[in-house]
Chain A
Amino acid sequence: MTRLPYIPETPSQTAGPFLHIGLLPDRVGLSGMAPIASNVLVSNRTQGERIAIEGRVFDGTGSPCRDVLIELWQADAQGRYPHPADAREGQAPDPAFSGFGRTGTDFATGLFRFETVKPGRVAGRHGYKPMAPHVSLWLAARGINVGLSTRMYFSDEAEANAADPVLAIIEQPSRRLTLIGHREERADGIVYVFDIHLQGERETVFFDV
């Protein structure tokens, strides 16, 4: 049999317990290298509703994992990605918004937190069936052999969520709920609480993207 000339992907390996050195150097006192991204995606000039996303990552015993890398990728408040593949006509992406955030669960509490704006709706595949507002999340840590992809949707977008083409492919309605961040209006602003369960009864939906 002739083999087509594709090169197989490099295998994934766990990020291990010391990922902070390379990916979150300020967490371990390595001051020589400015972080490439942080958990704060907004500046004074960023357009859109300020929100925070907060949560923890739980292992199979229900204990919070305190060494997890979490990266966030999202569209701006108008639903635009600052990337050449988002070639849609209309308003240009917000120049004051990179769309990318990176943090780690806290060594003591296990909490993670992003400060960002609520994304707009993004066109679905082939430009139809718009997706409900959502952020993409990617997790890596000791014990995770291949980085885990998931999404967070917004609890105050029930109508858009009900029409979302990605939520719709998840067979069990109870599992769709694992992808909903719950809106809380706190004294210091709007927070969406989003806990991630690596396994167990409330296992979060993870995607093979």
Chain B
Amino acid sequence: MAEPPYEFVPRDGRQHPPALTPTYKTSVLRSPRIPLWSLQNSLSEVTGPTFRRDQLGPLDHDLILNAAQGQEPIGERIIVHGHVRDGSGRGVPNTLVEVWQANAGGRYRHPNDRYLAPLDPNFGGCGRALTDDEGYYYFRTVKPGAYPFRNHVNSWRPAHIHFSVFGSGFAQRLITQMYFEGDPLLTRDVIAHTVPDEAAMMRLVALLDFEAQVPLDCLAYRFDIVLRGSRQTLFENRLHGG
């Protein structure tokens, strides 16, 4: 049977925020209070949706062009790229990576965002890509702006891009946020600091990638994403590595 080799390594809860983080106030009424029931993986968890390249449009990964209305959006042009890997370091191929973000002024194209910064008519803020055979993905966009949010009266979000990743099985499903190296707002951000372990939180910070920038065009940031490992890749690595 398929289960034992495909089964995922149990999630290490210390890498993640707890459900209840009172400094991030919205979590108080939306956090389960009873511990999660631990479930050994069955077929329902080790399987998951798969997506095809022909489900994506040619500009889906290019947020500079994919909502442009004749001009390009305002803002600092950047590349965001990296690998999706599993806990054994192996690239996760053909997995869907979806992103969303505010525009350069810190405003989202969303009816519930009432921040006074203007919308950019040439920017939507939605992108997606499938990783290649090595697990590599690539987006082009503008750097999102910081914005205030109603947590404390003077709470500000650092610049960030939301990431959603699937992996090969539904138990690997992950949503997270990417931050930017050197952002002074990060140290005060209650959402980034829902992750209690500082070293874990710092893995959400993309580093300026000098080698990957395009001269006279755009800067680049590198953000590698790690999903839970599966016991299958463990076995294969052991066979390969001895």
Binding site for B on A (CB under 8 A): 5-23, 25, 28, 30, 32-34, 36-37, 59-61, 65, 67, 71, 73, 75, 81-83, 85-88, 98-100, 107, 122-127, 131, 134, 136, 138, 140-149, 151, 166, 169-170, 175, 198-199, 203-209
Question: B162-170, B180-188, B214-222: which lies at the A interface?
Answer: B162-170
Chain A residue numbers with a CB within 8 Å of B228 are: 9
Q: Does B177 contact A (CB under 8 A)?
A: yes
A39 to B44, CA, bound (A): 19
30 residue pairs from A and B, CB less than 8 Å apart: A6-B229, A7-B88, A12-B175, A13-B192, A14-B27, A14-B175, A14-B194, A16-B162, A17-B110, A18-B110, A30-B124, A30-B126, A32-B67, A33-B57, A36-B55, A81-B43, A85-B43, A122-B43, A125-B40, A126-B1, A136-B45, A143-B31, A144-B30, A144-B31, A146-B16, A146-B17, A199-B29, A203-B32, A206-B36, A209-B170
Beyond the given A19-B162, A198-B30, could you list 12 further A-B residue pairs with CB under 8 A, ordered by the A residue number? A8-B200, A10-B174, A13-B191, A14-B177, A21-B108, A25-B126, A36-B128, A81-B44, A138-B173, A142-B26, A144-B31, A203-B34
**Cross-chain contact A19 with B48 (CB below 8 angstroms):** no
Q: Does B75 contact A (CB under 8 A)?
A: no
Q: A11-B16, A13-B191 are in contact. Are A145 and B100 (CB under 8 A)?
A: no
Pick the residue among B39, B100, B109, B229 that contacts A23 (CB under 8 A): B100
Q: Does B132 contact A (CB under 8 A)?
A: no
Chain B residue numbers with a CB within 8 Å of A175 are: 34
**Cross-chain contact B112 with A198 (CB below 8 angstroms):** no
The tally of residues in B whose CB lies under 8 Å from a CB in A reads 95
